[in-house]
Structure 1
Amino acid sequence: MNVTLRAAFLATTLLMATSGVAYAQTPASSQPAAAATVNVTQGAAVMDAKGGAVGTISSVNGDIAVIDTGAVKASVPTSSFAQSDKGLLLGMTKAELEAAAQGASAQQKEQFLASLAPGAAVSDASGGAVGTIEAIEGDMVTIATPNAKAKLPKASLAQGPNGPVIGMTQAQLEAAVKATTPPAG
């Protein structure tokens, strides 16, 4: 899961977490006059303000870095990091970042499912056409292919780059419908 977190939240959390910690062990006379340059690069270790491991930078694209915690991948503005002698600092613990990412992911999934509408094209994981949404009834979605109609739980659809995606190709969906349809007679 890859989730973009709000920059202001992270920056504020970083400032709150590091302001008392970074300088608490440094006499006021030796505090730097300006913040050190932060070098956010792929492969860099990320720690929380107390030195606990948060994860590793898996990629950087412009001013967004993706932190891989092992459980989630969270997109974080590069301005949310501070530099230490041991690596990058983030104002969130690993558990806090994972909880925020999972909460954001759940909210995004909920918004996506609420946005589904009849007529939307449905693709498979490879981007191949499967069919279109014909109807939505409660938590069920009817997907029409050229040869079949299938009722699936809304939760079985995910947001893809071009709209709704399911984990089956058109042929697999049609075969599943055929296998579960009683013979006419």
Structure 2
Amino acid sequence: MDRKVFMIAAGVLLATPAFAQTAPAPAATAAAGVATGATVYDAQGDVVGTIASTDGTNAVVDTGTVKAALAVSSFGTGPKGPTLGLTKAQLEAAAQQQSGGSAEFKAKLVPGAAVYGSGGTELGTIKEADAQFVTLTTSSGEARLPITAFGPGPKGVTIGLTAEQLQAAISSAAPKK
């Protein structure tokens, strides 16, 4: 099977690696143990994949089907080792969405559409969308994310962040007073 490499930061697929360097990291602790060869687990302790490589800033997770580059700050530390807020299936589905986002799905990215997080919680609504970015309005403020960060989910439009991760990212991006 042909493997593809995708960029993810804070659990969100990114359109370009340059965005990953400017995207605010959530308030998660960068995981110790994010090293080549380490097994990566989801929040329930199930295997997501292994770390194929890392440069200290990003780590490539190989699920056996896809390879996805994630910011090291996207990892947490669990009892078994590095963890992600995504299951293997969610990571693979997000990677597939990244590779071919359907016109049918993109038609759902309209102002007022509800957006759900990886835990199924409603995170906010779409304020506006263009060919590259979607502005999400939440109770914590606004977040401008690449269109490739959004995918179909069981309840509708979904991003790979929990409410807490999104709030932390918005808070860290807010101008300091």
Larger RCO (CA within 8 A; separation ≥ 6): 2
> Larger helix proportion, structure 1 or 2?
1
TM-score bracket, normalised by the shorter chain, equals 0.3 to 0.5
Q: TM-score, normalised by structure 2?
A: 0.43
